Structure formats: structure tokens, C-alpha cells
Structure 1
């Protein structure tokens, strides 16, 4: 039997249940969302299906309206059917997978599983999203067949955006079911799979809660402030900007306290059990309702008197909020001067000031605690590292961090300061193994405590690591801003590695060289990279510094020459004799978007794709072929036999995409906007992106790829101006745009429509490309454009002037 998940059931429509249902629906799975019938219904309400389903309906409504969006596309909600556990529980017999996300209460979960045992079909899989109740207790008294199909699938909130999925085998779960669920979670849902054991709070929350509570305790002991602790455990240590306390505000202090207390209660023999005891001031905060972001006050609080924004932090002694200064320690100053993360970490933990001593105590304790949890909570260091990266957005997990600061040097310091270094670590070093990870012959190996040797981690065959290939000397060509990497079978990958992967003059020159090299030495090209965290940036656009400098000097002919070179490079790629596939993810803006829609035959996009031509936000317009190629993307979707159609119906969405700087909220949304076409693909797992793009290159090459034939294109012509003016008038009256936006947008409409040509004319592509360059250069002559660019470079936000 080939196992498939065609329909899933989610029981519990709260924040987590709704998030799981949204993810399933976005992945194309029909989903039944059930919740309880409301209590205390009157006689009429008891017979009213709308009222009986009201809790699940409210959950669905919250899901649809949530910001940031939980659904990839609001239309995905049509795959979700709501109901209640009294009237609709029999419908779960149709489900291939049932996941319970009800209250964290053993008796409630046991009673629910007993009901599910009666309705589950023979092949149906049942999983729990519990984080604190042992699976063994939950499934007591149930049949062997049920227990063989029962496991833990622990998602992290928000489900769409947090990559971690912990899979917890039950004592009798069938191996093939575990493997199927791991593959489904990785491939269809895009999750990073961590194998956890049936221990309290599994892997991510066990290590994460320990680190946060230990930091709280040590902060009080060492006399640091909350902002100081966060500054020391933010980006300089490879942690998110929310660090420790802001993360708690996001999660909720009540939830953090529950996880910590639950762990403490269930680990009587843990050597660092006391590290899970929440400081009393935090308990007082919870009593007062200072629960974090959901209560608008937690460790931090934001006040907005008028247009001013005031950020305050709580005083743990007085519970009063006050503004705070930027934390300052010598170790932070040294860290900020360092370019690489390992050097930043070393600057902090090997410093001698008060902040450095605090960071060392917290980190040292966390590293030792992580090592001692193997094999209790997980068998490998890889799963613990991945849990913290995917569940807590760490840039480096505990053991990767240990490598970064130096295992030998740190252990020496630990022993000097009275830390109890685990015997397994001392044995590892005594055997001459001085790191947890190493690369040999292009392959990554991790240190395995059980065998006391290095092993290769199990990775999907579909995962291609550009970093590993780089270390294996697979770089065919490179410059400071980009590399061409041999990814095997005659396929190469062009990777950008500037800040935010912005496209500069060097990349533009490099792309042209890449086309010549691949034409001579390969069969196809992928344009993609793997830099950055979540969501990351395929490319955040063009190099505004370079353009701005030329414009300030009045070198407009040089701007035109640069644009012409960029356009020619993209056109050269589009009409090359080999297939090209773009693999965008995350921010794919401006020039990054132009590369995808202009240079590539096909796009294989990650589900989290924020794509758009946003140049109007800085007072410019797409000029690397963006206007031309988005227009072509729309009209080329029309079947060739259809010759009589209204170009105006195509013009307005293309114009509005560019003139209002629309950005997709997902790849599905990008498809709805027209940036992705019917032949483009969406991949949920970003690790698979380059591999999937390579597959398409090989398929096109195998099928006898022939480049597209260059031909004239139909344009709307002069009538476009009137149609655009009508749209802009309405938007200006509604104050959706400024007068300068209108000035820019009218010129954009002129470019897209082909300029001063009759309606429905056919023109050469070069006509629109020339119009793009002329408008771009003219816009740089405007003071308001310079103001927009300067504001964006200074603040990272658009200016509406």
C-alpha cells in the first residue's frame, strides 16, 4: 500500500490548532477542524448547528484574519471544514492523519484518544502536539493497533513560520509510520525534522527553557538589567534580536512559566533541575497580568503618545516601567567590531568585564547541560543543534557554538571556573577530537558520543549544500560578490553573496561571464543561494549606494550604461542555449525579482516568498527588464490560438503591481499576483530548493531544451495612459498615494504600454528596455527621489513624499 495523506483532522481550533490546520490547507491537504460544543447552550442553541460549531468557526475566522498571515493564500481556507466533537467525530474516519491539539491535561487527552480509537480507520495515523505530557501515559489502555499508529508531532508557534517539527516515537509506533511522517513533514510541510524522545518538553523547549531561566537567575545574581542581558544574548551570540526577555514577551510569560514548571516537576533526577525555577519577580508579573505582547506589557512595554514611540522596561524590584539606555560593555564593543560570528562570540565570552562574565556563566552552563542531555532527550548533537536553530531561530546551535568559541579553550576555562565538565567531553578531547563538527572531502561529519567517532548526518538526497560544495573545491568561477558552483551532472549554480544579496555592478558583469562559462562547460544553470536565516533574502534589490553616487555626480550616462549592461545580461541569459531555473526565497525584491522573471526559463520558489518590483518606493522604476518581463509573463500565458483579447485586462494588474510596489506574502500569493506562472513550482522546504531547481534543469535538458524564439510583443499603447490616470485619480482622492507617486506611476504606465504607439501594437523588446532606462535616469534627476533613496538607506523604510 502506498500511504498518502489526502485528508487530515485537527482537533482544537486555538492558536496552535488553527496554525496547524492553516499549514495543512496551504500544503493542499483537505482539513477537518473540530472543537468542543460551547457550554451552557439554551434549548434553541443546542439544536443550532451554527452555534454548536461556533468555537471552531471562531478559530477559523481568527486564522484567516491573523497577521502575519497563517495561510499562504486566504483561498486555502476553502480546504478547511469546521465542526464539533459531538456531531462530527465520525467524520474523522475519513482522515488519514488526526492530530490532537487540545488542552494540556492528561485526563482530557486520554478521554479524547479513547474516542478516536473508535472512529480511526485501520490505516489512520493519530498524533499529539503535546509538549509536556508523556505519550506513554496518554496512550495507556488503548489497543496495540492504535499505539502502533500513535506518535508525537510537536510543532512550534507560529506554525507557518517556525521550521521545527519534533517527531516523538511511541514505544510501539511502527517504524514505517515514523519514516512516512518524517518525510511528509519535511517534504510536504517544509519542516526541519528533529527526532526526540518521550521526555519532558522534548528537545527544543528542554534546552531553550533551561537557557532562558538560567539567564534570568544569573542576571539577578550578577546585578545586570534586562536590556543588558538581552544585548549580550542577541545577534552578537548568533541569537535573534528578541534575545531572551523579548522572546518571552512574544511567547507569553505564562506559557514560559508553565513549560519551566512542568519540566521541573517531571525531572527529579536532573543535575540542573534548579535552573528551571522561575525567579519570584516573574511570578509576580504573571499575577499582575504582565504576560508579554498579548497583554501589551511584559518585560518590555511600548507607549505611543502621539507620533512618538517610547520603549520601556520593567524594574524587577519596583515593577515600574521606565525608559532605558542602550547597554554598553567593552565586550559588546569588541564584538561589534568583529566581522564573523565566531569572533563576535569569543569577544563576549572571553572578555573580562561584568557583561562578559555574565554571558560566560549562562553559556557555559547551557553548553554543559546540552551535552548531558545526550542520550536522554536525543541521540545526537545534530538534533539538539537543529532544534535550537529551527525552534528558537539561533544562528548556531549549542554544539556549533561550542566549536565557534573553541572546545579546548572553553573547557579549560570551564574547569578553571568550577564547571563540572562532562566525562564524555573530556574523553573526546583526550582522544584528539577537538571539535564537534568537521568537513572532509566535501562532507560534513559530527561527533557521536555513543561510538566516540565522527559520523555523517542523515540528510535527504534532495538537499544540496552550497557551503559544503564550496569547501569541496567545487567553485568554478568567483568574484567578491558572487560564485559559480558546480552542483553536479553538468549543472552549475550562480550564487550571490553581497549584503542582503543586493545586485551590484560586479554581479551584473559576473552573470554575463557565467552564461559563457556554462555554455562551454555545462548543460544548465540554477540561480540561487542559501545565505541568511528565516525568511532570508534571495536578493533585496539593486545597489542603491552605487546608483546614488553616480547620480550625485551627475553621471547619468554612466547610469544608462550600467542599466544597459544589466538588461543585456538578463536578455543574454533568457535566450541562452541552455535551461536556467531561478530558486528564490524570502525577500526577492527589485533587481532580485527582475533576475527571476527575466533571466530564468522557470522559477522554483520557496513557499515563503516575498516577491515584488518595489522600486517606486525609492522614487525609481524597474529598469533591469522588470517592466518588460512582468508584462511578458502576463501576456505569454495566453494560448497562441487566442488572438482577440483585451490587453487592458492585462495592463491594469501589471501596472498596479509595479506602481503600488506590491509584494507577495507567500509564493502562492506571488502566483495569484502573476509573478509566478502556471509552469513555475512551489517548494515548501527551503533546504530542497536548489536540489529541486536542479531537477528541473536536468529534465529540460533531457527533453531537448531549445531557447525561446525572440519575437515582437503586443503592448497596450496610448489608451493605457487614460486607464492608468483613472486609477491614479481614485487612489489620490483616497489618499492612498502621494502626488509624487502619481508623477512616477504615470511614467511607469508609459513604459509598460510601449510609449507613444497605437493601441495593440507589436514592438521589439528593446523599445521597452530603452524606455525603462530613460525613465530611470530621469527619476534620478528628481530631488524627491534622492530623498526617498536616502531615507531607505538610513532607516530601511520607504518615504512617502
Structure 2
């Protein structure tokens, strides 16, 4: 069957339902979002004289839920305009409309009887072949399908999204014994390609995979912390980025998710684990969790949980942390462990674990206890919840934002070494792990010929992880590096395409990265036919130029050095634009300052949907000078049409730079003119480099011709400059900006309008690049610019001096 998804109905408009609806709207699908009809009027409705039959009353619940979602932060939609793709209604008046929809997703209250009652109605209304899935996180999938028609059961399964659906990659797919395998194949592919998800096939077991492991790890972490007398702040530091997990850590994450949600899932897992889970008691709530739950200190939703935010006597926000011993709140304290200090120089997460587990302080003990327990528990879940290690690791990394799953972390430590640590802690994993080690297999994974293999307990040998052919995974291609230096690697991706990977901290663009860009283009021009610039960093595509180096030159007043560095940076950007081979960039996460400028000069940008782009130099007292200001003037010039008020178009670009505005998504970057119609947006981050490679191949095969530098950029000259400067002066008089803000803005206005020209005329790219560089140099000589740079480099926000 050639199935496509054009229209999706979401039943239930709560936090998850509304956000799932928004994510389908993000990809262009028409969505119907339904909820219940209220049983009684609100006070406001009664005051207006409305009745229960009034449309506004009947849709009140769905309207309120959807509006709350649209106001929520982080945003559920890539662009506010996408809200128009969601139609709102209620179960009584609009449920019959599902007959015209391709996929019906249930996201209502977690009660089996209510779900079954709704599915009975859906079964009677849906057309044959319509997909029906449940987003339940705790109810067995097969129970919900009982009593339904054969066609319903054939097209029914669980599709468990993680909240928030736009940002968390995991989509667990849970079949029943009657689900058509073709449906599973379709959903797996659709979730990957269209929804941008890591789709993991799960067994219909309690908590499926991610919650089963993730909630166990969370509760055990809290239990160990309480036993060891660790503070809330200490645990969040230990369970954050240092081990490749979200910066929220354990307790902050619990406050964001809501303790009631965690308790609900934990209680379900405890109840369902009787007789089937050897570690069932691990889901019993620690005393502190039970006490918080009883007192309704549930986290952000109630204003306090493990943390509490208050205003001090000066009206400043202060974060307090819970003291387990007294159950009272105290000011947060800075955390420092000798063990963590020993990892500061280790950039790769996988290489930190040896230091962390060898620690002689409380940090080391904490890691030995918690790692031993989660590894032990994960080993016993095979084959109960999954037959393969990689499914467990995929679910945990995609659902909880860990860089490495349990078995990947175990590999990074060393299987035999970890076994010794576990036994010293009084814990032993499942027998199959000992069998694996005894057979001489020293890892759960291995890489051969660019492909990743996993140890299979049933065959006692390695098998290739399926589905890799659609992806380019740089970490698997160490044998394909054709050139490297301290800040960059160049890989041969095959088909005549190279890939340049940045390797500096936050992928900032210092001398090694600039050398890498130049070298990769030279290699591609000589022996290949295209270049991709992309990386697999979880932090940033590139956070921009190396500010520390620039600050060092500026503080020493080495203006010749700064001029040379900026000129080289400009030449490198221009070479990317005007090379003889196509250059395709693959940005994701942060692409700021110079990172944005590189994308502005690519032949094509293949951007992940979650790409946050911006020319942010203004914040540290300078203007974009790697071709960024020039390129925005050029793009505005190309937009001008007869009858346009050209200064309005240019002013938008000027304000984006002057406000250091960063896009909230790749779609937003397109609205800001940082991405263009020729560029491509990819939902699945894992596919990004593969899609960029394909774009480079297509450009080459379609007869790529080296472009010529432009000399037809229309600039506004004095007329535009006068208008912008008048606006800047008014903002200064109104105290919206400082004197130094005004100085930077005037420099920016001068450059983007083409300088001191008496009338609007056409200029060359090099003319604008020279203006950029001159303005940049002059601002580097300003004391207040240096103060801003220093403020950022010291880990804070630049002062608005």
C-alpha cells in the first residue's frame, strides 16, 4: 500500500496532545485537535450570558489548551504562522470528521476504560486502513485494542512521543501481536524521515524502554544522593554535561518535568513489576520524593520542588535549593569536586569516565555506585524489553538527551574494568555479559568499514546495526580522514565529496579551523567535486570566531594583526563562495557570528530544523566583518523590486544585526533572510550530513560553474545612513540604548548603506568588505568594546556599557 500522511487527528489537547499537534503542523500536515465539551459554564461565560451550546463554550477546553501551548517557552512551533495548520474542535461535534484523516493519535487521560470507550467510537467512524495509535506511557498497548475490529487492530499500535515533541528525538513504536508489520515499517520510516525522530521499536512491556531505564536511573540517583548526604546542587553538577547529559541535571530536570509525572510512572512500574522485575524495589519512592509529593512541591508547576525561586529584598531573583535533612530551602552554593576538576581539559565525554570513576572523593564514589546499578539493571532488561543493546541506548539518548546510553558508556569505561567496579560495589550484571567477556569480546559495539556492529546475546556474535545506510556518521569514519590538524578533520565521504569537520571548543573559528576551510577547498578543487562543511557536535555547528584571540590582540593594540586576521577570515568566506567546486554547509544547534557568515557564503545550506542562526557581534561591541554585513546588504539588494520602499527592507536586516537577534528555528532563519529558498531544512539531525552530501553531488552533477564576484550591490548611501542614524539618536535620547550601543549602530549603518556615498548606487563586494574591516578595527580600539569582550570571556554576559 502506498501510504501517505496528509491529515492527522489528535484526540486530547493537554500538554502532550497540543504539542504533538504542533509538531505535525511544523512539517506541513493538516491537524485536527479535539477535546471534551465542558459540563458547566465558567464564571466568565456565565457573566456573558452564554449557554453550554455556544460554540465558544463547547470548544473552551481545546482553545485554552492550544493557546497555552502557543505561549509556552520553548516554542512548540517553528514559526507562529504554522498555528493556522491546526483546526480545533470537540469530541461531540467533530469526532466524525476523522473519517477524512490518515492517522488518529489518542492522547487522553491515562485510564484504560476511558481510552477503550473513545477507541470504540473511533473504530465506528474511521475509514478502513486509517492508522490509530496511542501515546500512552503506562498502559499495555494490547489491552486498548481488545474488542476492536480486525482492521482497527491491524492498524493499531503505540506511538510514544517524548515531551516536548519538537525537541526530544525519541519516538517509541509499540506493536501488539496483531499489528501489521507493514504499518510498523511505515511508522518507523515516517518518524525518522518526516518527524525527525529516532524511532525505536519496543516490546509491550511496562514503561517500554526509555522510561523503564530512565526513571530507574533517576530514582536510584536520588536514593544514592540521600544516602551519601549529597546536596541537590552537587548531584545536578555530577549528572549534567560532565557525563554528557543535559545541563539541567537530575533534580532540575525533575522540577521541569513535574514530580507528579515521575511519581505516577514510578508507581506504575512498581505495581507492574511484581514477579517480572528482579529490581522492582528500585521503583519504590525514596522518602524525600514521597514527602515532596505529599506536600505538593511538584516543581515548576507549583513554584517549588527540589528548587525554589524567590525575590530577595532588592527584588532580584534568587534560586534556593532543598536541604534533604531539614526539608527547608537554602541559597544554592557553588559546587566543586577534585574529580571534576581533573576532567576540565578532556573535551570528549567518552574519555572522562576513567577519571570520574577513579575519583577518591564523593564524586568518584557517587559515579561508582550509580553507574554500577544502572549498568546492572540495563543488562537484565535484555531480552525482556529489547533484544538488542542498541535499542536501549537509542531510546535513552533520544528520550533523555544523554550523549551516550548505558552500554555505550560501559564501553567507554571498558567492559572488564567496569565488571571489577560493579563487583566491588556488590553488584553483578546478567550472565550474558560474563559470557561475552569470557568469549574474548571486549565491547558491546565495534566499528568495521564505517559501519557500527553490536554484540548479539542470542548468537554470541556481532551483528550490524540496521538502518545505517541512510546516514553519514563521521565518528565511524576514522579511516577516511585525508587531512587533519588540531582544529579540523577532512573526511572522504565517497562519490567525490569531502567533509570538513570542526574540532575546536564550541567549534569556534580560530587559525586551525580557517586553515581547515582553506585546505579542504584546495583538496576538493584538486581531486574531488564537492565539499560539505558539517559536524556531529551536540553543542554548536560553530559559535563564531575565536573571541579570546581577538581580545588578546585588541588589548595589546596589535591592530595590524587584527587587520590581517579579519582580512584572512573575509578571504576564507569569499573562497567558500567562489571556489570552483560546490560548498554545502550543514548547520545545526548554534551557528552564531562567523558560523552564520560561513553559511551565508555557501552554495547551499542544508540546515537542521533546530538551527539557531544570528549575526551576534553587536553584543560584544563590534559588527559582523567576515562578510556578514556585506552579505545582508547584498541580499537586500537582490530583494528590491520596482515600487519597493527599499530602506524598509534594509532596515529589517540592520535591526536583526543591531539587536543581535538569533533565529528560533531554521524556518525563522529563513524569515530573517539568513536562509534562502534554495536552501534545505532537514528534520532528522542524524540525516543532516548525508543530505548535505547528496546536495553537493547534485550541484556537481548539474554542471556547477564557478561564480563571479558581484559588483552590482545596490546601497543607499547618505540617504539611508541619515535615516538610520536619526533613529539611533532617538533611541539614545529615549535611553533605550547606551552611548556605546549608538556608536556601534552608527558604524553598522555606515557599512550596510555603503558608506559616505552622495546617492544610491551599485558597489562591489570587496568595497563593502573593506568598509566592514575598517569599522571592525576602529571598534576594537574602544575601551567599552574590550569590556564587553572580557565580560563574555569571563563566562558572564557582556555589560551594556
Q: What interval of TM-score do these two structures reach, taking the shorter chain for normalisation? A: over 0.9
Instruction: Indicate the SS of the match to 1:461.
Output: helix
How big is each residue's C-alpha offset from its partner over 1:201-223, in whole Å with a ceiling of 9 and x where there is no partner? 11111001111112222333334
Give the Cα–Cα distance (whole angstroms) in 2 for the partners of residues 312 and 59 of structure 1.
30
Distance 1:740 1:352 in 2: 50
1:303 deviates by: 2.5
Distance 2:573 2:339 in 1: 46
Contact 1:591 1:624 in 2 (8 A): yes
* 2:780 corresponds to: 780
Indicate the residue corresponding to 2:309 in structure 1: 302
- Is residue 2:653 matched to residue 1:661? no
Question: Kindly tell me: are residues 732 and 373 of structure 1, through their superposed partners in 2, closer, same or farther at Cα, counting changes over 3 Å?
Answer: same
Residue 371 (str. 1) matches residue 379 (str. 2): yes
Aligned residue for 2:285?
Answer: 278
- SS of 1:581's equivalent? strand
Distance in 1 separating the partners of 2:510 and 2:797: 20
More displaced 10-residue stretch of structure 1: 549-558 or 23-32? 549-558
Worse-superposed segment, 410-419 or 726-735? 726-735
Q: Is the 8 A contact 2:375 2:429 kept in 1?
A: no
CA distance 1:18–1:466, change in 2 (3 Å): same
Partner in structure 2 of residue 510 of structure 1: 516
Q: Does residue 316 of structure 2 align to residue 316 of structure 1?
A: no
CA positional deviation for 1:383: 1.1
1:605 aligned onto 2:612: no
Q: For the residues of structure 1 that align with 2:779 and 2:671, how far apart are their CA atoms? A: 30
The answer (yes or no) to whether the contact 1:582–1:693 under 8 Å persists in 2 is yes
**Total equivalences in the alignment:** 792
Q: 1:270-319, CA deviations, whole angstroms, 9 ceiling, x for partnerless residues?
A: 10000000023322211212111222211122333135443322223432
- For residues 173 and 103 of structure 1, the distance between their equivalents in structure 2, rounded to whole angstroms, comes to 23
Q: Structure 1: which 5+ runs fail to align?
A: none
Q: Matches of 1:780 and 1:320 in 2, distance apart? A: 49
Residue 137 of structure 2 is matched in structure 1 by 131
User: TM-score, length-normalised on structure 1?
Assistant: 0.96
Once the two structures are TM-superposed, the CA of residue 527 in structure 1 deviates from its matched residue by 1.4
Q: Choose the corresponding residue for 1:538, options 535, 538, 541.
A: 541
Shift of 1:419: 1.6
Distance of aligned partners of 1:555 and 1:450 in 2 relative to their CA distance in 1, 3 Å threshold: same
* 1:459 Cα deviation after fit: 2.3
- Cα distance per residue 1:660-684 (max 9 Å; x no partner): 1111000111111111111111111
Please name the residue that 2:634 is paired with. 632
After superposition, the Cα gap between the structure-2 partners of 1:325 and 1:755, relative to the gap in structure 1 and judged at 3 Å, is closer
Q: What CA deviation, in whole Å up to 9, does each residue of 1:19-65 have, x standing for no partner?
A: 11111101111111111011224794222111111111112211211
Do the aligned partners of 1:462 and 1:692 also contact (CA within 8 Å) in 2?
no
Runs of 4+ in 1 over 6 A off after TM superposition: none
Residues 1:797 and 2:797 aligned together: yes
Preserved contact between residue 503 and residue 542 of structure 1 (Cα < 8 Å):
yes
Q: Distance in 2 between matches of 1:566 and 1:332?
A: 36
Q: CA deviation at 1:695?
A: 1.2
Pairwise CA RMSD: 1.8
The Cα shift of 1:780 comes to: 0.6
Q: From 443, 457, 466, give the equivalent of 1:435.
A: 443
* Deviation of the 1:352 alpha carbon: 4.1
Q: Which residue in the other structure is 2:766 paired with? A: 766
Q: Report how far residue 118 of structure 1 moved.
A: 1.2
Alignment partners' CA distance in 2, 1:634 and 1:526: 26
Question: For each residue in 1:136-174, what CA deviation from the matched residue of structure 2 results, as whole angstroms up to 9, or x when unmatched?
Answer: 111111011101111111111111111111111122111
Sort the Cα spacing of 1:30 and 1:558 in 2 relative to 1 into closer, same or farther, 3 A: same
Whether the aligned pair in 2 keeps the contact of 1:585 and 1:609 (CA below 8 Å) is yes
1:623 to 617, 622, 625: 625
Match of 1:595 in 2: 598
Deviates more, 1:768-777 or 1:536-545: 536-545
Residues 49 and 689 (structure 1), Cα distance of their counterparts in 2 relative to 1, 3 Å cut: same
Counterpart of 2:571 (choices 568, 573, 595) is 568
The 3 A distance-change label for structure 1 pair 172 and 587 is same
Match of 1:141 among 118, 122, 147: 147
Structure 2 partner of 1:468: 476
After superposition, where does 1:493-504 map in structure 2 within 5 Å? 493-504=499-510
Per the TM alignment, residue 336 of structure 1 is displaced from its structure 2 partner at its CA by 4.3
* Per-residue deviation, 1:729: 4.1
Provide the secondary structure at the position in 2 that maps to 1:636: helix
Aligned twin of 1:49: 55
State whether residues 484 and 494 of structure 1, in contact with CA within 8 Å, keep that contact through their aligned partners in structure 2: yes
Aligned to 1:22: 22
Contact 1:633 1:675 in 2 (8 A): no
The equivalent residue for 1:480 is 486
| Mapped partners of 1:356, 1:799: distance in 2 | 38
Aligned residue runs from structure 1 range 332-343, under 5 A: 332-336=340-344, 338-343=346-351
- 1:225, distance to aligned residue in structure 2 (A): 3.2
CA shift in 2, pair 1:637/1:243, >3 Å: same
Deviations 1:364-410 (A, max 9, x none): 11101101111111121111111111111112110011112211122
Q: Which of 580, 585, 589 is residue 582 of structure 1 equivalent to?
A: 585
CA distance in 1, matches of 2:603, 2:130: 41
| Mapped contact 1:200–1:266 kept (Cα < 8 A) | yes
Distance of aligned partners of 1:29 and 1:431 in 2 relative to their CA distance in 1, 3 Å threshold = same
| In structure 2, distance between residues paired with 1:679 and 1:75 | 21
Shift of 1:796: 4.3
CA distance change for structure 1 residues 706 and 343 in 2, over 3 Å: closer, same or farther?
A: closer
Give the Cα separation in 1 of the matches to 2:673 and 2:452: 40
Match of 1:204 in 2: 210
Structure 1, 511-520 or 681-690: larger mean CA deviation: 511-520
What SS is found at the alignment partner of 2:412?
Answer: helix
* Counterpart contact for 2:451–2:468, Cα < 8 Å: no
Match of 1:234 in 2: 240
Q: Does 2:648 match 1:649? A: yes
What does 1:154-173 correspond to in 2, within 5 Å? 154-173=160-179
Task: Answer with 367-376 or 789-798: which moved more.
Answer: 789-798
SS of match in other structure, 2:690: helix
Partner of 2:9, secondary structure, is strand
The 1:199/1:337 distance shift into structure 2, 3 A limit, reads same
Distance 1:170 1:767, change over 3 A: same
Report the Cα distance in structure 2 between the residues aligned to 1:324 and 1:437, rounded to whole angstroms.
Answer: 40
Deviates more, 1:556-565 or 1:410-419: 410-419
Question: 8 Å contact 2:102–2:131 — kept in the other structure?
Answer: yes
CA–CA separation in structure 1 for the residues paired with 2:528 and 2:97: 53
Instruction: Output the CA distance in 2 between the equivalents of 1:416 and 1:549.
Output: 50
How far off its partner does 1:412 sit? 2.4
Looking at structure 2, the residues matched to 517 and 769 of structure 1 have their Cα atoms a distance apart, in angstroms, of 26
**In 2, are the aligned partners of 1:100 and 1:129 still within 8 Å (CA)?**
yes
Q: For each residue in 1:402-460, what CA deviation from the matched residue of structure 2 results, as whole angstroms up to 9, or x when unmatched?
A: 11221112212323443233110111111111111112233221111121111111124
* Residue-by-residue CA offset, 1:154-199 (whole Å, 9 max, x unaligned): 1111111111111111221111111111111111111111111111
Q: In 2 relative to 1, CA 353–715 (structure 1 residues): closer, same or farther, beyond 3 Å?
A: closer
Q: Under a length normalisation based on structure 2, what TM-score does the superposition of the two structures give?
A: 0.96
The answer to whether the 8 Å contact 1:281/1:317 transfers is no
Q: Distance in 2 between the 1:44 and 1:20 partners? A: 31
State the partner residue of 1:687: 686
Measure how far apart 1:556 and its partner are.
Answer: 0.7
Distance of 1:735 and 1:168 partners within structure 2: 58
Find the counterpart in structure 1 of residue 367 from structure 2: 359
Aligned 8 A contact 2:559 2:777 in 1:
yes
State the Cα distance separating 1:649 from its structure 2 match: 3.1
2:724 equivalent in structure 1: 724
User: 2:368 touches 2:421 (CA, 8 Å); kept in 1?
Assistant: no
Deviation at 1:233, TM superposition (A): 2.6
Matched position secondary structure for 2:688: helix
8 Å CA contact retained: 2:37, 2:90? yes
Q: Secondary structure at the match of 1:190?
A: coil
| In structure 2, C-alpha distance between the alignment counterparts of 1:612 and 1:351, rounded to whole Å | 41
**Gap regions ≥5 residues in structure 2:** none
